[in-house]
Amino acid sequence: MDPLISPDELAGVLAGRAPDEHPAVLDVRWELGGPPGRAAYDAGHVPGAVYIDLDRELAGPPGPRGRHPLPDTDVFGAAMRRAGVSAGRPVVACDGGQGWAAARLWWLLRWAGHPRVRVLDGGVAAWPGELSTSSPRPAEGDFVPRPGAVPVLDAASAAGLARTGVLLDARAAERYRGEVEPVDPVAGHIPGAVSAPVTGNIGPDGRLRPPGELAKRFAALGAVPGTEVGVYCGSGVSAAHEVLALAVAGVDAALYPGSWSEWCADERRPVATGADPG
């Protein structure tokens, strides 16, 4: 299944089918360090979309496992069922347009065993029709998370992959080099990781670049089909968007959910700085 759906395609699906045949549209607007996305959702969202809180429902409490560790499966499952998610019902994840939060939901649902999840390319910012201010109350879904459907890295396997495969760092290049660190207590990167800022996957129109462009970009970094590839970022959110971009390019990749925020919490783990992988 194509991991993306265009705004025009989704608009056509919502207009051309009865409401009980619509995909479950989940709005997970979120920004790092920004206010909760609920206010933006209330101001206008894709018709029928249900709001999902990334910090409360798509992540566990911050701590030694990182700033956005994997959520408790009971909490996550309850949030999905509340939003009308069922095992046989397609899901569309959307956010304000950046794509990070929507990709986090896309990745989590796939990790939890849902086979039919897509991301609205360009998010609410690209929506071609009128936005809604009403909050729908969908019928309870039946989705039960069954984790393990996609590969996950921990600190040890991420370190190993940096030596034997390709480990991509999706943060800004200056954070990778250790020149600045606005969020976490330690600057630098996992030794052996390759800098691949997630912003490089977005075109001038705010949507993901075409598959060919993405494949060319990742190939230059060593990430090609058949190679073992992993991705991390600061806390596992923007890295999910890089995993999404890799999927569009035809490359399977594992996510390190704890990412740099977990890695640097243990002072025994090595830290590299500079432009070279180290």
Q: Which residues are catalytic?
A: 233
How far is the C-alpha of 32 from the C-alpha of 34, rounded, in Å?
5
For 222, residues 6+ apart whose C-beta sits below 8 A from its C-beta are 166, 194
Cα distance between residue 136 and residue 162, in whole Å: 45
For 134, the token pair is: 């009403």
**What's the rounded Cα separation, in Å, for the pair 201 and 259?**
19
Neighbours of 163 (CB within 10 A): 9
Tokens of 138: 């969908």
Q: Are 218 and 246 in contact (CB under 8 A)?
A: yes
